[in-house]
Chains A and B, each alone.
Chain A
Amino acid sequence: MTAILTNLFDGVAYGMLLFVLACGLAVTLGLMNFVNLAHGAFAMAGGYVCMVLVNLMGWPFFAALPLAFVSSAAIGIALERTLYRHLYTRSHLDQVLFTIGLTFMSVAAVDYIQGSSRVFINLPAALQGQFDLFGVGIGRYRLMIIVICGLLTVGLQMVLAKTRFGSRLRAAVDDPRAASGLGINVPQVFAFTFAFGCGLAGLGGALSAEILGLDPYFPLKFMIYFLIVVTVGGSSSITGPFLASLLLGIGDVAGKYYVPKMGPFVIYTMMIVILIWRPNGLFGRPAAR
């Protein structure tokens, strides 16, 4: 029984992490209809920035996390303004080719700078080990992830639902032409959202170094996971991707624990079945465009 609860806990932490990693993609892919396969590259960038700051420059872990967010967001906005912007109206094939190209470049570049082996971030002592709560083993690091990611999720939902920016974004997504007719600066809204999504990915990358492992192949290895979260979760709200991440996280952890031989088989099958059953995602609505 306690093993089940521990697995559930780990799965939730894993799922929360996936959500933070992928929710930027939910906006670009789900809302802006741009196939961004290079999303993992931004996550990797954040992870490596955090690693360099903590391990080589001796920054405290919690001070490095915001910087991972900022650096990924900066890279994101730079690329959005210079390159991505021109591709919003292009065909999906062009978008796929372009972002695969970016992914390959990022993999080789990180390999060149940091080497191809897996890197670890030195964690403060307070985050290591685990403690017992009613007999259930709770990892401190995973608990921190759940807290941080939970707060972020609530924050995001509030921003989207309650603020002026949130309503602008929703309007811009629903009908860009009408939105710009109403005086909303649509490209600016998209650029800002894109950068924020990249920043979140960077933060997720920094947090995931301990759990998912961080090496130059990160963007390729986890690309499918991010895509699953978005396509299965649908794009009507952030609740869909959130639930999809939790499902995926719990499913993957349980799958690896109970049927280790089946590997990622369960996840892929689940994804294909769900996509056949509901092409717009479990919680999706028919595409607006």
Chain B
Amino acid sequence: MGAASDVGYHAQRQARWHYGEIAFWLIVLACGFVFPSRYLIMTDILRLALFTMSLDLILGYAGIVSLGHAAFFGVGAYAAGLLALHGIINEPVLALIVAGLAAMVLGFATSFLVIRGVDLTRLMVTLGIALLLEALAERFSNITGGTDGLQGIEMQPIFGQIPFDMFGKAGFFYSLAVLFVLFLFARRVVHSPFGLSLRAIKNNPLRAAAIGIPVNRRLIAIYTLAAFYAGIAGALFTQTTAIASLDVFAFERSADLMLVLVIGGTGYLYGGLIGAVVFRMLQELFSTITPQYWQFWIGLVLVVIVLVGRQRLHRWVLYVPNLIIRQVAGRKAVVAVPESDA
């Protein structure tokens, strides 16, 4: 077997659906039927999962550290809110896509700023763009409603058939469907030759350029795609909660997002989904212990994660599951998180 076909063989093996993945999605779907009283928090987790998946695309696969990913979330949220509020596009799915496209346009425009420079400049530029948009949203309060946010958003039924109910059931399944479709697409993208080239860029941009990968164009493409995902997450936020306020752009949102992704692990797409569940549970736990000061404990979790080391932590978490898998299916089937540093 030649080297090229060898690479292809391994890439295809990686891309194949595992039983674990199918089981994961079945469990997620089952949650919708098992906990009918928890639709709101579960919808919240799904939104966060989608948003985190968007960050994973650029951080986990392309190695771009962003401190301002909330910018796209916010644009998506306000776009969806304005579309619904002024009755421009009443159909939620169509509005969702348009909101995502709006974020995508911003992502494309700002990607040229982001691909320049090194980590530090990227951090600053992404953070600056998010802050800039927050300042703009505050400035044009006649459009955005300023600090009060957009109020009185009335959502129309999905496809004109399924109305949003007050228990959030429709919202949950709607979010789940959107998440699943976008997950399928992201999965396809990261396992395609395009996705493989992104990994090469992340590992060593110079070497990637030397073997003929157009580094900048690839980075622009994935950044734009991630912006689209984040915009959709923001739009889902507005559509399922019927509010959009200035805090969609807040720095804390971007910072929390990093934490979610780091809890779940970068670079295998499920990190965002698992991280979102763990993060929301932690948040619930901390806010029942100390309602006002839960941020302290979130901060402590971040510090501990970094000090212990992300890789080591994930090994510990996977220790017991792997022990069981090894007993049942033999050594080959062991789950490993393909974690590497950005």
Binding site for B on A (CB under 8 A): 29, 35, 83, 86-87, 90-94, 96-98, 100-109, 111-112, 220, 223-224, 227-228, 231, 261-265, 268-269, 271-272, 275-276, 279, 287
What are 11 A-B contacts with C-beta separation under 8 Å? Answer: A90-B306, A91-B341, A93-B342, A101-B303, A103-B299, A104-B295, A105-B299, A263-B139, A265-B136, A271-B124, A276-B125
Interface flags, B223-252, vs A, CB<8A=1, else 0: 000000000000000000000000000011
Interface of A is mostly: helix
Q: Which of B42-50, B77-85, B127-135, B153-161 contacts A (4 or more CB under 8 A)?
A: B127-135
Residue of A nearest to B340 (CB): A91
Residue of A nearest to B138 (CB): A263
Cross-chain contact B255 with A100 (CB below 8 angstroms): yes
Interface-facing stretch out of B112-120, B183-191, B271-279: B112-120
- Are B307's CB and A86's CB within 8 A? yes
The answer to whether B306 and A269 touch across the interface, beta carbons within 8 angstroms, is no
Known: A107-B299, A231-B120. 4 other contacts (CB 8 A): A35-B123, A83-B307, A105-B296, A262-B135
Q: What residue in chain A is nearest B65 (Cβ atoms)?
A: A93
Q: Is the CB of B300 within 8 A of A268?
A: no
CB <8 Å contact, B306 and A97: yes
Q: Are A271 and B258 in contact (CB under 8 A)?
A: no
Q: How many A-B residue contacts, CB cutoff 8 Å?
A: 129
Contact indicator B120/A29 (Cβ below 8 Å): yes
Residues A111 and B292 in contact, CB atoms below 8 Å apart:
yes
Chain A CB within 8 A of B104 CB: no
Give the distance to chain A from B22, nearest Cβ to Cβ, in Å.
Answer: 31
Given contact pairs A107-B295, A279-B116, A262 touches B303 in the complex (Cβ within 8 A): no
Closest Cβ–Cβ distance, residue A284 to chain B (whole Å): 11
Give the size range of B's interface with the partner.
Answer: 35 or more
Judge whether B147 is part of the interface by a CB distance below 8 angstroms.
no
Asked whether, in the complex, the Cβ of B135 is within 8 Å of the Cβ of A111, the reply is: no
When distances are taken between beta carbons in the complex, the residues of chain A under 8 Å from B123 are 35, 92, 96
A112 near B135 (CB under 8 angstroms)? no
Pick the residue among A101, A112, A261 that contacts B302 (CB under 8 A). A101
CA distance A227 to B259 in the complex (A): 21
- Do A105 and B303 form a contact, CB below 8 Å, given A269-B132, A276-B113? yes
- From A35, A97, A265, give the contact of B132 (CB < 8 A): A265
Q: Which residues of B contact A29 (CB under 8 A)?
A: 120
**B102 located at the interface, meaning its Cβ lies under 8 Å from any Cβ of chain A in the complex:** no
| Chain A min CB distance to B340 (Å) | 10
Q: In the docked arrangement, what's the CA distance between A29 and B300, Å?
A: 23
Q: Is the CB of A104 within 8 A of B131?
A: no
The verdict on B97 contacting chain A, using a C-beta distance below 8 Å, is no
Query: Please, which residues of chain A bring their CB within 8 A of the CB of B127?
Result: 224, 227
Which residue in chain B gives the minimum CB-CB distance to A94?
Answer: B306
| B138 CB contacts on chain A under 8 angstroms | 263
